[in-house]
Amino acid sequence: MSERLEVRGVYQDFGENRVLAGCDFTLSPGRIVGLLGHNGAGKSTLLKILSGGLRPTGGTILLDGQRITRKRRPQVAYMADHILLPGELKVKRGVSYYADLFPNFDPARADALCEELSVPGEQRISLLPKGMAERLDLALLLSRDARLYLLDEPLGGVDPVERARLLRMVLDFPDGERTILMATHLVHDIEPVLDDVLFLREGKICLQASAEEIRAQYGQSVEEHYMAVFEGGGGV
């Protein structure tokens, strides 16, 4: 079975600043993967590159063994760390706008999810509280039929109850085929849902392993191993 995503030698420069210094990793189908690293590690940059929002300075990215052309772009669903919909739109209009952009989007499912998550349809998007905007963004993301789902800090700025709710939605989503890659530094909250982890340090992936492997090999939880690697500066 081919890998869902293959990333080879991806690097990103912003002027003289090298943010990503050659990332290599693969993602398998149907897995929930955590992209972990400290603030400023390059997690958001990596996700933007994978989503097509940013062109990498160099490197190769393959989805199901093929390059991600413009036509295949909608097979990668992306949720940024802030909502990207035009703020002046109301939620209902925002759903329609999203439907016009993405052919694999199910507006009926999105409306149902918004109702389930108590996102008011007549509220202007720019006036939504942060937690509610996150719920809307997640509802839109999960209403798309894509191969790979990228979530950038989906838990930031929301309360613990909200976090648990969002994580349950993510956990219930994969069907053995869809792959989810979540970037976060809230390791403790995300650990229960993770199948695999990627540690991003100094612009490179310094560890790729399953959560089970980390527990078995190091005798530590993912969070403990994360602290050891990033706080202690130790090896992986």
Partner 1 sequence: MKGLLKSAKWELRQGGSPAIFLLGGLIAICGMPVVALLESQAIFRVWCGMGIQVIFVMNCAASFIGWSTGPARVLERTAGRPAWQSLGGKVLAWGVLLAVGEGMRQGLTALYVERSRVMLAFAEENGLDVFSPDKAAPWLGWDAFGLSLLLGLTVCLWVAAFSALMAGGAPVSRTRPMEIGTTAALAGVALAAFWFDQAEKGRILPVIPCCAGISVLCFLLTCLLLEKRSN
Binding of residue 84 to partner 1 (CB under 8 A): yes
Please measure the distance between the N-terminal and C-terminal CA atoms of the chain and give it in whole angstroms.
Answer: 28
One of 9, 22, 30, 53 touching partner 1 (CB under 8 A)? 53
Among candidate residues 179, 148, 177, the one with its CA nearest the CA of residue 74: 148
Q: Cα(31)–Cα(54) distance, rounded to whole angstroms?
A: 24
One of 18, 73, 109, 165 touching partner 1 (CB under 8 A)? 73
x/- map, 21-50, partner 1, by CB under 8 A: ---------------------------x--
Q: Which is nearer to partner 1, 96 or 220 (CB)?
A: 96
Binding of residue 183 to partner 1 (CB under 8 A): no
Interface stretch with partner 1, choices 30-38, 71-79, 127-135, 215-223 (CB under 8 A) = 71-79
Q: Which residue shows structure tokens 């990215």?
A: 61
- Sign (positive or negative) of CA dihedral 92, 120, 124, 131: negative
Binding of residue 71 to partner 1 (CB under 8 A): yes
CA 226 to chain centre: 18
Q: Cα(177)–Cα(95) distance, rounded to whole angstroms?
A: 25
The contact set with partner 1 (CB under 8 A) reads: 48, 51-55, 68, 70-74, 76, 78, 80, 82-86, 88-89, 93, 97, 100-102
